[in-house]
A = this chain, B = another copy of it.
């Protein structure tokens, strides 16, 4: 469906924004910010496509992906002058992208006839892959490891997708609901600081 591409591009845009703001935080020059925006925006989708055998990945074929990433990178570059709290914007954009990509990943995995574990894994990988690449490139411990419940939110979105899909709900509603579930649960986790127990051998 056509609107799915725009939905995907929206996810690419917000993830690229998160990469751009992260680059600004580390005082990269304009080109470093653009590179980080592109890598964050299309990284998760490229990993998904490579693993599912979709050659070449859609981001290499459809020019819109590249242009959207560059726009987001430029926006982050020029906007970063005015904003002080880059970390907040990185996290907000990241949460929205997480939801969109979790839904997209689930949708494509279902299309490839994967079982529920495959759908959950591909969905999580699509939703977190770009962020992991971003964090590795700027040498942070990836959010997926340090942020409480991070991957949980993607998994939650994938499960919502599977549930609605198997209940026969139409594609559009299923995708939107899955994305909203993942994004909202992520924002709630950020807002209320849910946290899981740490490994206890190290407490003392």
Residue ranges of A at the interface with B (Cβ–Cβ < 8 Å): 23-33, 35-36, 46, 49-53, 55-57, 59-61, 63, 65-67, 76-77, 80-84, 86, 109, 112, 114-118, 120-122, 132, 136-139, 141-142, 144-146, 148-152, 195-202
Say yes or no: B56 contacts A118, CB within 8 Å.
yes
Closest B residue, CB atoms, query A61: B118
Contact B137 A145 (CB under 8 A): yes
Instruction: Indicate how many identical chains form the complex.
Output: 3
User: By DSSP majority rule, is chain A's interface helix, strand, loop, or mixed?
Assistant: helix
- The complex places the Cα of A88 from the Cα of B83 at a distance, in Å, of 38
For A24, list chain B residues within 8 Å (CB): 199, 201-202
Per CB-CB distance, the 3 closest pairs between chain A and chain B, nearest first, are: A53-B55, A24-B199, A60-B118
Q: Is the CB of A30 within 8 A of B121?
A: no
Contact of A35 among B31, B32, B144 (CB under 8 A): B144
What residues of B have a CB within 8 angstroms of the CB of A138 in the complex? Answer: 141, 145
Query: Quick one: which of B56, B137, B141, B151 contacts A51, CB cutoff 8 A?
Result: B56
Chain B residues with Cβ below 8 Å from A25 are: 202
Contact A28 B145 (CB under 8 A): yes
